[in-house]
């Protein structure tokens, strides 16, 4: 038996059991704990993203300054202002950092590679617009100082988009142009060259202007090949 502050009496065993039961019955304590764990995870995720982004930005800056081959892990660590152990907690080496940046570029390429109904290579303008917003990244990965490490993968991605467009553009009852892969390679070669040239030395050229150049150079020839596959005779040389 004990006396409460207001003078009433009670059994201590009941109070202890009651106090214990509150936590179990309400679940509030467990809920708060779960919420706190979730918040901690979100904070941790943000920290991971910030760290990775800082390291990836550092590599892009260093590539543009001295070229990929000359960059060391120590250079990246110093520029990103992270510890060596922190670096290796997220990346294995500088190539791993480079391909982390490539993931960002790939998402950008995919975002701009959706087909536009009724317009051959309708993905080209959105792609140039995306590149215009991320020129440093494109210069670092695809330009002269990037070491050519990621170019083959980028070309494979673009080739897949171009191939799909070519197949989708074949008229009903027609057949794909002969040497489809060669045609796709020609288109991708022209597109990649323009993207890199614009990122490196584009000056005041706009995304729309670059897209116009690409389309004027590439589209007529591809349309002629598609017409041949559909059984439509090609115009004579010099014809309109």
DSSP 239: -
Number of other residues whose CB lies within 10 A of the CB of residue 77: 18
What pTM does this model have? 0.67
Walk along the chain (240 residues) and give the pLDDT tens digit of each residue. Answer: 544 445 555 544 433 333 444 444 455 555 666 555 554 455 568 889 999 999 999 999 999 999 999 999 999 999 999 999 999 999 999 999 999 888 877 776 666 555 555 678 888 888 899 888 888 998 998 998 998 888 898 898 889 889 988 888 887 777 777 788 999 999 999 999 999 999 888 778 999 999 999 999 999 999 888 887 654 444 444 444
Instruction: Name the nearest CA neighbour of 183 among 229, 235, 230.
Output: 229
Rounded-to-integer distance, Cα 80 and Cα 115, Å: 38
Cα end-to-end span (Å), the chain: 108
Helices 180-201 and 135-142 pack at an angle, to 10 degrees, of: 120
Is domain 44-96 classified as CATH 3.40.50.150?
no
Rounded-to-integer distance, Cα 147 and Cα 144, Å: 7
pLDDT at 217: 93
Helices (H), the chain: 12-26, 28-66, 73-80, 84-90, 94-111, 124-133, 135-142, 151-168, 180-201, 207-229
Please state the domain extents for the chain: 44-96, 100-230
Rounded-to-integer distance, Cα 59 and Cα 96, Å: 11
Instruction: Name the nearest CA neighbour of 192 among 127, 147, 129.
Output: 127
Helices 94-111 and 124-133 pack at an angle, to 10 degrees, of: 140
Going 10 to 13 to 18 to 19, the CA torsion angle's sign is: positive
Going 6 to 10 to 14 to 17, the CA torsion angle's sign is: positive
Instruction: Name the nearest CA neighbour of 43 among 89, 29, 35.
Output: 35
pLDDT at 240: 41
DSSP 47-104: HHHHHHHHHHHHHHHHHHHH-GGG--HHHHHHHHT--HHHHHHH-SSHHHHHHHHHHH
Instruction: Name the token pair of 111.
Output: 């975002």
Number of other residues whose CB lies within 10 A of the CB of residue 188: 21
């Amino acid at each position: 038996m004990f006396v409460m502050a207001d003078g009433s009496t009670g059994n201590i065993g009941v109070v202890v059991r009651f106090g214990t039961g509150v936590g179990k019955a309400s679940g509030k304590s467990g809920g708060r704990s779960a919420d706190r764990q979730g918040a901690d995870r979100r904070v941790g995720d943000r920290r991971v993203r910030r760290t990775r982004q800082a390291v990836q930005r550092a590599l892009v800056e260093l590539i543009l300054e001295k070229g990929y081959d000359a960059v060391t892990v120590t250079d990246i660590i110093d520029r990103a202002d992270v510890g060596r152990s922190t670096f290796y907690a997220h990346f294995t080496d500088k190539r791993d950092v480079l391909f982390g940046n490539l993931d960002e570029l790939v998402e950008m390429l995919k975002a701009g590679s959706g087909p536009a109904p009724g317009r051959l290579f309708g993905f080209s303008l959105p792609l140039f617009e995306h590149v215009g917003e991320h020129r440093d990244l494109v210069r670092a990965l695809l330009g002269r100082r990037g070491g050519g490490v990621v170019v083959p993968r980028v070309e494979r991605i673009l080739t897949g988009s171009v191939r799909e467009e070519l197949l989708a553009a074949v008229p009903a009852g027609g057949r794909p142009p002969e040497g489809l892969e060669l045609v796709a390679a020609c288109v991708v070669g022209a597109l990649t060259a323009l993207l890199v040239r614009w990122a490196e030395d584009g000056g005041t050229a706009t995304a729309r202007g670059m897209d116009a150049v690409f389309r004027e150079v590439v589209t007529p020839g591809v349309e002629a090949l598609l017409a041949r596959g559909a059984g439509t005779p090609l115009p004579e040389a010099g014809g309109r």
